[in-house]
Chains A and B, each alone.
Chain A
Amino acid sequence: MPGIIEESLVVLDLAAENKDQAVRLLAERLAGAGRVTDIEEFLADVRAREQVMPTGLEGGIGIPHARSEAVTTASLAFGRSPSRVDFGASDGPADLIFLIAAPAGGGAEHMTILASLARRLVHGSFREALRGSASPAEVAELINREVGA
């Protein structure tokens, strides 16, 4: 199984004004890498999840995500948004955006990797490392190392 993230899935200057734009830009990267087969279907699934409850968390985090038929392998697209995008967190918009894509029928292996990613996200040191990374390659390497994929 490939890593959860690769260089092409990291956008360090995400130019998005709202969360729909941000999610679409990141989803296009997933589609470009062949990890999402039908971008519209995937976006609809993400929106549906976002409507249940916003995915923004305190500390500048947005984690839009979905399990979708359009996803082939457990993946993460990561964006840093200097201008920040509102994901509905109580303390304001997010500068770190994690778009998590899980295959609908994903086996335990996929889900375990995503679970370990989610656990890393809680740690302030992990977030700071992402904020301080200089290149997409560095980010991809850091994340894949941390989640053990």
Chain B
Amino acid sequence: MRIVAVTSCPTGIAHTYMAAEALEEAARAAGDTIEVETQGAAGMNKLAAEAIASADVVILAADVEVRERERFSGKPTVEVAVSTAINSAPAVLEEARARVASFTPASASAPKSATPPATPLAAAGFGSRLRQWLMTGVSYMIPFVAAGGILIAVSFIISGPQVAMQVNGGIFHGVHYAGATSIMAIYHTAGIGGVLFEVGGVAFSMLVPILAGFIAYGMADRQGLVPGIIGGLIAVDVHAGFLGGIIAGLLAGATVRLILKVPVPRVISGMMPIVVVPLISATVVGVLMLVVIGNPVSFIMTEITNWLNSLSGANAIGLGALLGLMMAFDMGGPVNKVAYTFAVAGLASGGIGGQKVMAAVMAAGMVPPLALALATVLRRRLFNDAERKAGEAAWLLGASFITEGAIPFAAADPLRVIPSIMAGSAVTGALSMAFAVSSPAPHGGIWVVGLLGHWPLWILSIAVGTVVGSACVIALKSLRRTVPSSASVISLQEVANA
């Protein structure tokens, strides 16, 4: 077992170092490797990022707040009082071993006072390792989501919702915009708002490649980055969205792992990390993503579009709910794109019907980030540090109709988060249609509220969906929390509390 640990106590002159020594001794005795960062009065011997990345588990033995704790988010973590580490270091290591086996990301950073970590002594299941890989990708993606999303929201505030058309060209509210002729002309054409919009867009274009790259990094260390990022870029090109990015990342990680299992002669082994592994893994992942993933995705998109078009004249409320489900399903992925394109096409064809669909789609697309932001406020302990930070940014992103703000949550825990936000968005889409809210604007979120017909009811629709989605997320995530049962944990807690 590879361990990184932080020890920290109120004064920083005694217990910090005693705990470090005790953990190191216990690790030596148990045959584990450990690196300890002592956050004490003698300064902080910072752990190398590589050490953290390659560690199986994190031990935080601290009576005060651990500095730069976000470095460890997504890792299986054991938190104990400093005195527990000093008095019973071997037991802490055993708890860490069990933690590695039973790791689930969301409970990884639950505060020690809330719930003692459960430690069923099962072998590391595939499910828990999968969640750990996903969380690695998500933790690297979140800053891109926050930076890009906030830049885009700010550009809307500065230049109004037509900023997208000023940059890319198109018709907004009856005005035709030519768009910038080149990326260098954006400032001249669309002003500072346009420039911020473009920068935010570039940050967003990296979401899926970073997600895929660092999922692969989590599985196969730095060897995973090349095929992961390339696979992620292709996922973007074939409109496979973040779900395609997850597939690309897992594919890349698995491919590298397989390649590294092949025995090679010494002559070649030196070339493996620089040439052979990147070349083979990028080829395998790239071909699979383009041929195996790309074609079905475009086929499905066409089919769903045709099906949606055939529904014209169907029950409006049902259509609103359906579009809501689609908007939340993959947040910027193929299904979301189909729903959004369907609405924009309806808007272009003129008539109030198209405007109603547009209002429903926009409202439904705002709900996922808002619902998750609300959930992080209501039940902090269900989310890790990185997710809580993402939750803070998600308010602004959701309000600005930047559905991608929910991707970090969905990528980390897709089976619980996606159904929940789909429920919330479906409610919002149906309500918006039922209230006959209309929107002449294809995007802009809360910033175009003045253009909407029946806007107070539109806000109400969003609020109800947000609460529904948030309640579902909390319920599903709470269900997973396991009951502590192991005797060793109880004794550890007693020691900690004594």
Contact = CB atoms under 8 A, between A and B. Distances in A.
B42 A114 contact: yes
29 contacts: A49-B10, A52-B10, A53-B63, A53-B83, A55-B15, A57-B87, A58-B86, A59-B87, A65-B11, A65-B14, A66-B11, A90-B495, A100-B13, A102-B11, A102-B13, A102-B41, A106-B41, A108-B42, A111-B13, A114-B13, A114-B14, A115-B13, A115-B16, A118-B13, A118-B14, A119-B17, A120-B21, A121-B14, A122-B18
B25 interface: yes
Interface in A104-144: 106, 108, 111-112, 114-116, 118-123
Contacts of B63: 52-53
Given A53-B63, A118-B17, A119-B20, A112 B42 contact: yes
B21 A118 contact: yes
A115 B36 CA distance: 13
Interface of B: 9-18, 20-22, 25, 38, 40-43, 63, 83, 86-88, 495, 498
Given A57-B18, A57-B83, 6 more contacts: A108-B43, A115-B13, A115-B42, A118-B21, A122-B22, A123-B25
Contacts of B87: 57-59, 90
Nearest to B86: A57
A63 interface: yes
Nearest to B20: A119
Contacts of B40: 111, 115
Contacts of A47: none
A59 B20 CA distance: 17
A94 to B, nearest CB: 13
B498 A119 contact: no
Contacts, number: 79
Which residue, A67, A111, A120, has most C-beta atoms of chain B within 10 A?
A111
B14 A100 contact: yes
Contacts of A123: 21, 25
Interface in A12-66: 49, 52-53, 55, 57-59, 63, 65-66
Contacts of B38: 115
B86 A122 contact: yes
A120 B38 CA distance: 15
A52 B63 CA distance: 9
Interface of A: 49, 52-53, 55, 57-59, 63, 65-67, 90, 100, 102, 106, 108, 111-112, 114-116, 118-123
A91 to B, nearest CB: 8
A111 B495 contact: no
Contacts of A49: 10-11
Contacts of B11: 49, 65-67, 102
A141 to B, nearest CB: 22
A121 B18 contact: yes
A87 B12 CA distance: 18
A26 B410 CA distance: 59
Contacts of A111: 12-13, 40-43
B498 A90 contact: yes
A118 B105 CA distance: 34
Interface pairs A-B: 6 shortest CB-CB: A111-B42, A118-B17, A90-B498, A119-B21, A58-B87, A122-B21
Contacts of B13: 65, 67, 100, 102, 111, 114-115, 118
Contacts of A114: 13-14, 17, 41-42
Contacts of A53: 9-10, 63, 83
Most buried by A among B10, B16, B495: B10
Nearest to A90: B498
Nearest to B17: A118
B413 to A, nearest CB: 36
B495 A118 contact: no
A118 B10 contact: no
A123 B41 CA distance: 22
B65 to A, nearest CB: 13
